[in-house]
Structure 1
Amino acid sequence: MLDATLKSQLKAYLEKVTQPIEIVASLDDSEKSGEMSALLSDIVGLSSQITLIERRDSDARTPSFSIGRPGHDIGLRFAGIPMGHEFTSLVLALLQVGGHPSKLAQDVLDQIRGLEGTFHFETYFSLSCQNCPDVVQALNLMAVLNPNVTHTAIDGALFPAEVESRQIMSVPTIYLNGEVFGQGRMGAEEIVARLDTGAAKRDAARIAAQAPYEVLVIGGGPAGAAAAIYAARKGIRTGVAAERFGGQVLDTMAIENFISVPETEGPKLAAALEQHVREYEVDIMNLQRAEALVPASAEGGLHEVKLANGASLKARTLVLATGARWRQMGVPGEDQYRNKGVAYCPHCDGPLFKGKRVAVIGGGNSGVEAAIDLAGIVEHVTLIEFDAKLRADEVLQRKLRSLANVVVITSALTTEVTGDGQKVTGLVYKDRTSGEQHKVELAGVFVQIGLLPNTEWLKGALDLSPRGEIEVDSHGRTSLAGVFAAGDATTTPYKQIVIAMGEGSKAALSAFDHLIRTSAPAAAGAAQAA
């Protein structure tokens, strides 16, 4: 099942196991059970600490297997064969059950251990989903640390009847005690915060007690991470407040244009960004959404950023790097059927539409790439573009035209997503040339129409472009003295990771230059800090 290279790598990891591991597999005579048995046998052969028990039983989900430690109550199970993106989840589960410590922050680990109640989690994933491993790994770790938590990771493609009965049309989908808990990427910190009802209040109190920063970065994507590193390297007090560290990079499948790195994946790059920032004395405040900016009342004074949890942060300079998010169509039915047929990630959710008819909205590179990817999975793809022609690179268009199960409709405006109350059944579009309305019957709509800057909270505080982007000059300066900006939220052209990193670095250097040229009067600074 595992090739020689993968076995060698896994064997090296399993040398870190310090406690015995027991794998119990529920198998039958199916081909997938045979594959699972081969995988588990390969794993057992790589470590004397691991034993395997194979059972021919009537488990509700077969094939599946649990990973436990003799004498300990650990409720961790994989229903499916965790290869692809989930192979890392399997390796981490083995290491953590085997006694290898997690790299998660100690306060989060303590919070997990302290959870009281009964928490039975089920996560539906697909092997091509880059968002799913974060959820699977977080819940697996929670099951290892706290006997009140159990977790079953379920490959939706292997249990289609279950997916159909629960009407799961987006991964990851998380159930807690039989009810939907959430959909989309979540880390342990976010999951625990939702379970621990007092966490938000404690976070607010802790953040409110922070002394003013010399540089405060809002946003934890490539631009924010670069700004934090460059500021910290100047030896000045630096903080980062981010809604989710990594930003939109976390939702990016393959990255092949990051100079000096031929190929990587978004989640891997996001983890490296955070690790790099943590090597410096930077206060990282994750899961924090900015809601308002109160500019300093005098030159050299303190700017204030109000957060959604009620706390505020103050700083002499700010670097705004809040990034962007997928743009929505804004038509009836889109919100109602979000994750019930309306999707934004073809890599994650495409496998759930195998053999079905879908539409892709958008004829740029993202839309055409999505249509090409989906064409290999689904029965039929209808690509709908507002303009009179596709805007994607010609090489992508040639590939698209070569696919027999793709139809392209241009000069079309999507006006409605239709459904039966539970899931998408079609969409309505208007022919912009004739004015006629047309309905297309389908099961999924993948929206790929560009980005929207996360700047609504800044309206009225500083200058924004008509598109809502923060207006910046060549030094990253905004219309407010002492406030700088970088990345996809700004008017800087070409929304690329490498450009965002450069702009974030530039903004931090500009902030440092501002600090050394602008002295804060001691009395005024003390008064504002209070």
Structure 2
Amino acid sequence: MLDANLTQQLKAYLVNIREPIELVASLDDSPKSQQMRELIDEIAALSGQVSVAEGQDARTPSFLIRRVGTDTAVRFAGLPMGHEFTSLVLALLQVGGHPSKAAPELLQQVRDLDGSFAFETYFSLSCQNCPDVVQALNLMAVLNPGITHTAIDGGLFKEEVDARKVMAVPTIFLNGEPFGQGRMELEQIVARLDTAAEARAAKKIAAKDPFDVLVVGGGPAGASAAIYTARKGIRTGILAERFGGQVLDTAAIENLISVPHTEGPKLAADLERHVREYEVDIMNLQRAEKLIPARHEGGLHEVVLASGASLKARTLILSTGARWRTMNVPGEDEYRNKGVAYCPHCDGPLFKGKRVAVIGGGNSGVEAAIDLAGIVAHVTLIEFDSDLRADAVLQRKLATLPNVQVITSALTTEVRGNGEQVVGLTYKNRNTDDLHEIALEGIFVQIGLVPNTEWLRDAVALTPRGEIEVDHRGETSRPGIFAAGDATTEPYKQIVVAMGSGSTAALSAFDYLIRLPEEELEAVAA
């Protein structure tokens, strides 16, 4: 199962196991069980701290990683390879007593949770968002005896997925009931269970002194800005709804200069790790809802949060990024994660052998159609314009696929469902105004981005598309407020461009601060 490189890496990691663990296998005669047996035996052969035992579980094949002589354990139903291999490694280490690097106060918060929590997570091996959820819940199961967790490969347990109507990953069940879908970090899961957590966090934030620079947004632009201002020695805070931003939803990244290949979640983790090397106050999982600009130059700007707390700063750098654009048609919201999806890499395996549509003929839409064609029975690509807009090389590849149909000059008008899941869509031929229906079970929306700037409408100048208007220095229409990245009028929405614009905004903010008249700085400090 493991190639020489993975075997060597795993052997190096397993020396960190402090307490003996056993891999308790529930297997049958299926090929997947044979592969699991091979994997388990290979792992056990790499460390004297790991043994193998036979077990029996309702899900076969599966295996339990258990600390010998205790109930501390996590279970994988399916082979945790692909994106989940890291989850397997961490589970082996943490069940074996190797400490987590998460914040000590967060770990204690998990230990203090009172109750019985049986979590089940459905993942796919191609989902880059799933490992964070799997790893968070595994860690919680290790820390708290009242918590259990089973990670389930949805592609392997298809009948179970269909019976529970799982149409997006990751999907989490708690005590048999739906708990959440999509990427969730440890802090988010704990906050859902610890109802007093939000109030405590709001109180802590409200007590903070004003910042010299407050960065709003934790994507590439925000991380770059925070690093540059912190290196100038000025008091810096970074406020993020989820650190990493849209990068977390990105699969392969091959155009970040000097990094030939990486993946979104890994880049997001690297960004956060880099920011934490400096004295930056990171406030994650906090949503900004209102901006109150300073009444005079040199005054304090105020950002009001959804929790009710607020933060003040002499300068702001807005780097709130963008999100997937929706079709805004009847049925889309109702059937989101019930057949309507936005990440073909994550959710594509759940539609194996089914008929799906991809909405959008740009690069992302055509790439999605190509990827899905190898998994599903049939793909219908629907494009609003009269021609596809994707790169020629992608269009040529698409044209070679026998199970893909392209429909141009088409406007999707409705997502149809049966109350539980998508059963089709309706589109209008823009040349004839005729309506057509397509029977299908999945719709992947790939029609671009919309900036996360609704909360700024009365604070800074925005374009009709909602982008923050900035000059060549990253300055907005308000003195002391700067912006960077995909939320701005910068024409190229690329990671490397966002990083550059973040550093530009940071240097401009620093330049602004040092040029403020001394009396204004003293008035602010007072």
TM-score (ref. length: structure 1): 0.98
1:134 corresponds, among 132, 135, 145, to 132
- Residues 225 and 504 in structure 1, CA contact (< 8 A), matched pair in contact too: yes
CA pair 365-522 structure 1, distance change in 2 beyond 3 A: closer
- Residues 342 and 447 in structure 1, CA contact (< 8 A), matched pair in contact too: yes
The alpha-carbon deviation at position 523 of structure 1 amounts to 5.7
Aligned to 2:52: 52
SS in 1 for 2:256: coil
Q: Matched residues in 2 for 1:357 and 1:417: separation?
A: 14
SS in 2 for 1:488: helix
Q: Matched residues in 2 for 1:443 and 1:316: separation?
A: 51
Aligned partner letter, 2:520: P
Aligned to 1:393: 391
Q: Matched residues in 2 for 1:456 and 1:4: separation?
A: 51
Percent of aligned pairs sharing the same letter: 74
Deviations 1:128-184 (A, max 9, x none): 100000000000000001111100000011111100100100000000111110000
SS in 2 for 1:389: coil
CA pair 522-260 structure 1, distance change in 2 beyond 3 A: closer
> Which residues of 2 match residues 73-472 of structure 1 at below 5 A?
73-472=71-470
CA pair 43-415 structure 1, distance change in 2 beyond 3 A: same
Aligned to 1:4: 4
Q: Matched residues in 1 for 2:475 and 2:524: separation?
A: 22
SS in 1 for 2:16: coil
The alpha-carbon deviation at position 60 of structure 1 amounts to 1.1
Aligned to 1:31: 31
SS in 1 for 2:155: helix
SS in 2 for 1:521: helix
Q: Matched residues in 2 for 1:303 and 1:35: separation?
A: 59
Aligned partner letter, 1:439: E
Aligned to 2:523: 524
SS in 1 for 2:173: strand
TM-score (ref. length: structure 2): 0.99
Q: Matched residues in 2 for 1:158 and 1:353: separation?
A: 12
**Which structure 1 segments of 5+ residues have no match?**
none
- Residues 225 and 317 in structure 2, CA contact (< 8 A), matched pair in contact too: yes
The alpha-carbon deviation at position 313 of structure 1 amounts to 0.3
Count of equivalent residues? 525
Q: Matched residues in 1 for 2:433 and 2:59: separation?
A: 51
Aligned partner letter, 1:278: R
Q: Matched residues in 2 for 1:54 and 1:255: separation?
A: 41
Aligned partner letter, 1:161: E
Q: Matched residues in 2 for 1:251 and 1:114: separation?
A: 31
SS in 2 for 1:171: coil
Aligned partner letter, 2:51: T
Q: Matched residues in 1 for 2:100 and 2:492: separation?
A: 37
The alpha-carbon deviation at position 47 of structure 1 amounts to 0.3
Aligned partner letter, 1:510: S
Deviations 1:32-86 (A, max 9, x none): 111000000000000000011023x4x2101111111123222410000101100
Aligned to 2:22: 22
The alpha-carbon deviation at position 278 of structure 1 amounts to 0.3
- Residues 75 and 147 in structure 1, CA contact (< 8 A), matched pair in contact too: no
The alpha-carbon deviation at position 380 of structure 1 amounts to 0.3
Q: Matched residues in 2 for 1:523 and 1:506: separation?
A: 26
Q: Matched residues in 1 for 2:45 and 2:76: separation?
A: 20
Aligned partner letter, 1:9: Q
Cα RMSD after superposing both structures: 0.8
Q: Matched residues in 1 for 2:259 and 2:456: separation?
A: 35
SS in 1 for 2:499: helix
The alpha-carbon deviation at position 526 of structure 1 amounts to 4.2
CA pair 517-399 structure 1, distance change in 2 beyond 3 A: same
- Residues 295 and 461 in structure 1, CA contact (< 8 A), matched pair in contact too: yes
Q: Matched residues in 2 for 1:164 and 1:363: separation?
A: 30
- Residues 362 and 447 in structure 2, CA contact (< 8 A), matched pair in contact too: yes
Q: Matched residues in 1 for 2:263 and 2:438: separation?
A: 34
Aligned partner letter, 1:37: R
Q: Matched residues in 2 for 1:299 and 1:370: separation?
A: 48
Q: Matched residues in 2 for 1:72 and 1:215: separation?
A: 49
| Off by >6 Å, runs of 4+ in structure 1 | none
Aligned partner letter, 1:134: D
Q: Matched residues in 2 for 1:392 and 1:340: separation?
A: 28
Q: Matched residues in 2 for 1:76 and 1:16: separation?
A: 18
**Which structure 2 segments of 5+ residues have no match?**
none
Aligned partner letter, 2:254: E
